[in-house]
């Protein structure tokens, strides 16, 4: 079999495998990211080539490389070109999927080769190896692990390429001396037995994608051509979904509008391990935030609903539920978006009954000027962005660390974190300890939801008594992953966070 062009589509690769088998040749397959082709890869591929007549390689496409927001360093077509230059490789294809399962079903190799570091299923943070093993065996093949010296692309890239600004590289150098990947994975695994209650507004986020045409011919306004729309389950629903990636038992308490609840849509977006505890307010609709987006820029947004405070009877009903049930949860996470759902009576129940209470009071265009964290005395963990902190204390000039300590004292909180966007996170605790974590992403797709991801992961880390420097690292990494996700299209996945943190610490 002779292939003139070694870079093929997956369909062409499958056809080439059929042709090779007709000729009586054994077919091998290797799959990976191959972000930096190094001697470890070459030895792995050579060993594989020596055991089969034909060796194919597939590389993971850019959008499915989940080693963090700044990876891959090299685009998929370049990675494929690197491998195709090796004379003992017969063909290469870019795989548009997260795992090799689809490739294994299409190519049906006699042998699927993985490096020796993948031989222990317990070390596989994604669980993908077992899925791939089944796919190989279903096609009549087997999996073989190659031996030899193990190298890490992440380690080589971290040590030889400056992927981050200097302050981030300095921070990571310090962190690598204190924590290793196994310690991080142990923390993530320990979160599974937490019982978590999330209390907050359910929000429907809509993105209406448009192409800007320019100024209207007759009026001084912008005109645009509508292209498509996308709906997301946001607010407390997104927070619950983030947490459900790590904790097995999550309950979501929220209030939906009876006139238009969007309950079926919201429930369809909830993770399987989330129990919904919904209440309903008459003559209202569940808040929808409709944003008009051109490219990566948001032009403006429209609030639909969400402008009525909760009625007294329903307020009492929810307060009574909280009083009766809050103690059953290890931690209560309250993303309070200030749309009238969470009343003073509910806050009192939360502040007096919760075992651990974690709160963010988000300032937005619908509540600016009257929605502050000072509503929550005695919250255990408070997460705010810098404008939210400064508005709550009516202070725009005091140094941030002094202001954060002042707020923590005033609220009697154990822990307070201030998120600062591209400047990272500042953390203070009751003992006067300070932790600063720089922003761990230099690429941003969409900032909406990053604060929710940070709140979610930091809250459950503190519920497990994770030390603050490690909790802040993990939560900051979750936020870094979230800014790569459009709105709330998906939660921060546990496997992706584990892989990103592992790659940072190598």
Helix (H, G, I), strand (E, B) or coil at 195: strand
276 close to 252: Cβ distance less than 8 angstroms: yes
426 close to 417: Cβ distance less than 8 angstroms: yes
Q: Where residue 40 falls among pLDDT bands split at 50, 70, 90?
A: confident
What pLDDT is attached to residue 2? 47
Write out pLDDT tens, residues 396-444: 999 999 999 999 999 999 999 999 999 999 999 999 899 999 999 877 8
Write out pLDDT tens, residues 138-177: 999 999 988 765 555 555 444 444 567 888 889 998 999 9
Structure tokens at 425: 């996170």
Write out pLDDT tens, residues 193-212: 999 999 999 999 999 999 99
User: By C-alpha distance, which of 358, 357, 356, 355 is closest to 327?
Assistant: 355
Q: Give every strand in the sheet of 434-437, ordered side by side.
A: 274-281, 249-257, 195-199, 331-336, 357-361, 381-385, 415-419, 425-429, 434-437
Looking at per-residue pLDDT, the higher value among 237 and 39 belongs to 237
What pLDDT is attached to residue 152? 52
Write out pLDDT tens, residues 292-311: 999 888 999 999 998 888 99
Structure tokens at 476: 């900051």
Place of tokens 């190989």: 136
d(CA 505, CA 500) in angstroms, rounded, equals 9
237 close to 250: Cβ distance less than 8 angstroms: no
User: By C-alpha distance, which of 315, 291, 293 is closest to 304?
Assistant: 291
What pLDDT is attached to residue 178? 92
d(CA 362, CA 383) in angstroms, rounded, equals 9
Exposure string for 158-194, b = 16+ CB within 10 A, e = fewer? beeeebbeeebeebbeebeeebebeebeebbeebeeb
What pLDDT is attached to residue 70? 58
392 — phi, psi (to 5°)? Answer: -65, -35
Per-position DSSP letters for 162-188, written without gaps between them: --S-HHHHHHHHHHHHH--HHHHHHHH
What pLDDT is attached to residue 148? 62
What pLDDT is attached to residue 161? 47
Q: Cα 24 vs. chain centroid, distance in angstroms?
A: 46
Percent of the chain with pLDDT over 70: 93
387 close to 363: Cβ distance less than 8 angstroms: yes
Write out pLDDT tens, residues 98-122: 889 999 999 999 999 988 777 666 5
Q: Is the pLDDT of residue 468 over 80?
A: yes
What pLDDT is attached to residue 164? 72
Q: Which residues contact 484 (CB under 8 A, 6 or more apart)?
A: 69, 441, 443, 444, 445
What pLDDT is attached to residue 157? 47
Write out pLDDT tens, residues 342-368: 999 999 999 999 999 999 999 888 887
Sign of torsion over alpha carbons 243, 247, 248, 251: negative
Q: What is the mean pLDDT of the chain?
A: 90
Q: What's the mean pLDDT in 468-478?
A: 96
Q: Is the pLDDT of residue 20 over 90?
A: yes
User: By C-alpha distance, which of 476, 370, 378 is closest to 420?
Assistant: 476
Q: What pTM was estimated for this model as a whole?
A: 0.76
Write out pLDDT tens, residues 72-98: 778 888 888 889 889 899 999 999 988
């Amino acid at each position: 079999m002779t292939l003139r062009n070694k870079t093929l589509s997956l369909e062409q690769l499958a056809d080439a495998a059929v042709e090779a088998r007709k000729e009586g040749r054994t077919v091998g397959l290797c799959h990976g990211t191959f972000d930096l082709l190094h001697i470890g890869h070459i030895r792995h591929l050579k060993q594989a080539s020596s055991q089969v007549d034909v060796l194919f390689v597939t590389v993971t496409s850019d959008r499915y490389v989940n080693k963090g927001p700044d990876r891959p360093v090299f685009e998929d077509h370049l990675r494929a070109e690197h491998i195709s230059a090796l004379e003992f490789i017969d063909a290469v294809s870019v795989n548009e999927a997260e795992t090799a399962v689809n490739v294994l079903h299409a190519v049906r190799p006699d042998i699927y080769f993985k490096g020796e570091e993948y031989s222990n299923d317990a070390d596989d943070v994604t669980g993908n190896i077992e899925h791939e093993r089944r796919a190989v065996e279903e096609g009549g093949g087997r999996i073989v692990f190659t031996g030899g010296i193990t190298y890490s692309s992440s380690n080589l890239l971290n040590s030889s390429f400056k992927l981050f600004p200097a302050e981030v590289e300095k921070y990571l150098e310090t962190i690598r001396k204190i924590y290793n990947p196994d310690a991080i994975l142990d923390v993530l695994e320990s979160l599974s037995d937490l019982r978590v209650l999330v209390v907050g507004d359910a929000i429907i986020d809509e993105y209406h994608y448009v192409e800007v045409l320019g100024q209207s011919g007759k009026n001084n306004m912008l005109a645009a051509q509508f292209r498509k729309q996308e709906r997301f389950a946001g607010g407390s629903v997104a927070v619950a979904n983030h947490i459900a990636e790590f904790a097995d038992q999550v309950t979501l308490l929220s209030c939906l509008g009876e006139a238009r609840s969007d309950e079926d849509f919201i429930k369809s977006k909830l993770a399987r391990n989330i129990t919904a505890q919904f209440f309903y307010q008459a003559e209202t609709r569940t808040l929808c935030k409709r944003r008009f987006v051109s490219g990566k820029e948001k032009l403006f947004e429209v609030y639909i609903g969400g402008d009525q405070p909760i009625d007294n009877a329903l307020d009492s009903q929810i307060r009574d539920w909280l009083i009766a049930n809050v103690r059953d949860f290890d931690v209560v996470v309250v993303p309070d978006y200030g749309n009238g759902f969470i009343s003073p009576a509910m806050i009192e129940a939360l502040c007096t009954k919760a075992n651990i209470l974690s709160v963010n009071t988000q300032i937005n265009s619908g509540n600016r000027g009257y929605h502050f964290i000072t509503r929550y005395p005695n919250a255990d963990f408070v997460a705010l962005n810098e404008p939210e902190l400064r508005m709550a204390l009516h202070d725009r000039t005091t140094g941030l660390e002094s202001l954060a300590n002042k707020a923590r004292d005033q609220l009697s909180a154990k822990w307070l974190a201030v998120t600062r966007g591209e400047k990272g996170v500042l953390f203070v605790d009751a003992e006067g300890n300070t932790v600063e974590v720089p922003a761990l992403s230099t690429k941003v797709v969409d900032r909406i939801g990053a604060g929710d991801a940070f709140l979610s992961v930091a809250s459950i880390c503190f519920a497990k008594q994770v030390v603050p420097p490690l909790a802040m690292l993990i939560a900051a990494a979750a936020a870094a992953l979230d800014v790569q996700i459009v709105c709330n299209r998906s939660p921060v996945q546990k496997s992706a966070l584990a892989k990103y943190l592992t790659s940072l610490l190598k």
